[in-house]
Amino acid sequence: MHTLAVQLAPILGAEKSKVPFYIAGGLLVAWALFVSLVIGMRRSDFPADTSQQRGVMAISAVLVLAAVSTAVLTSGGASSSEAASSTATQSSAPTVEEPPASTTSTASTGTPTATTGTPAPPSSPAAGNTSSLKLAANPEGQLSYDTKQLSAKAGSVTITLTNASPVEHNVAIAEGAKVLGSTPTFAGASKPVTVTLKPGKYTFYCTVPGHRQAGMEGALSVS
């Protein structure tokens, strides 16, 4: 019975929490040996009847269930298939079961720090700023804004134009001769225009013909 020595070796070396698993597994192996060797070989008429057959099957089922369940309980989260296979290969059970438990714990603790470690998508520091500016056309219909000087931080710059007059206006943001963005041309409402700007000197003006020349323009300073 050198298989018994194989059974006892991991039991003595294993931690106490796995003892129920080895007891149940040992009982299962002992039962299998008993049925196959003692009864099966010496008694040719076995199983004698169906009740005896059912008794052997019932005891076998209970022992397999006990071995699998104790394997699952003592292995700390290993799947039932791993537990079932470890009952078949008893001697390698302690080394097989330890790695999955440790890898799952490091994986679960690793993910939260990974998600909190990168809160925002990569972007330049300047792009993080958002400036919101207000501009109004003359409410009496004169061709002028309420200011000729605006300033903003580099990044996303929004100018909201309020035009309470009956004359249609807009506001465009330009760098030199290049228009970077503009509101629609409208009257009796407020509409925004948003552009992303680096530090520098820009202009804003109304693109309705004649309005810029009449005075609807100003300087936009971005720092």
Binding mask 158-177 for Cu ion (x = CB under 5 A): -----------x--------
Give yes or no for residue 211 binding Cu ion (CB under 5 A): yes
To the nearest whole angstrom, how small is the minimum distance from the Cβ of residue 212 to Cu ion? 8
To the nearest whole angstrom, how small is the minimum distance from the Cβ of residue 124 to Cu ion? 34
Q: How far apart are CA 146 and CA 118, in angstroms?
A: 43
Stretch that binds Cu ion, among 18-26, 48-56, 89-97, 205-213 (CB under 5 A): 205-213
Buried b (16+ CB within 10 A) or exposed e, 70-86: bbbebbeebeeebbeeb
Q: Which is nearer to Cu ion, 29 or 133 (CB)?
A: 133
To the nearest whole angstrom, how small is the minimum distance from the Cβ of residue 170 to Cu ion? 7
Q: How far apart are CA 84 and CA 193, in angstroms?
A: 67
Give yes or no for residue 71 binding Cu ion (CB under 5 A): no
Give yes or no for residue 18 binding Cu ion (CB under 5 A): no
Q: Which is nearer to Cu ion, 22 or 204 (CB)?
A: 204
Q: Which is nearer to Cu ion, 75 or 182 (CB)?
A: 182
On whether the CB atoms of residues 129 and 156 are closer than 8 A, the answer is yes
Place of tokens 């990974």: 114
Q: Which of 14, 191, 208, 215 binds Cu ion (CB under 5 A)?
A: 208
Q: What angle do CA 148, 189, 133 make, to 5 degrees?
A: 40
To the nearest whole angstrom, how small is the minimum distance from the Cβ of residue 156 to Cu ion? 25
Count the residues of the shown chain that bind Cu ion, applying the rule CB under 5 A: 5
Q: How far apart are CA 75 and CA 88, in angstroms?
A: 15
Q: Which of 72, 206, 220, 222 binds Cu ion (CB under 5 A)?
A: 206
In the chain the first and final C-alpha atoms are separated, in Å, by 87
On whether the CB atoms of residues 149 and 221 are closer than 8 A, the answer is yes
Q: How far apart are CA 178 and CA 204, in angstroms?
A: 11
To the nearest whole angstrom, how small is the minimum distance from the Cβ of residue 210 to Cu ion? 8
- Residues lying near Cu ion in the complex (CB under 5 A): 169, 206, 208, 211, 216
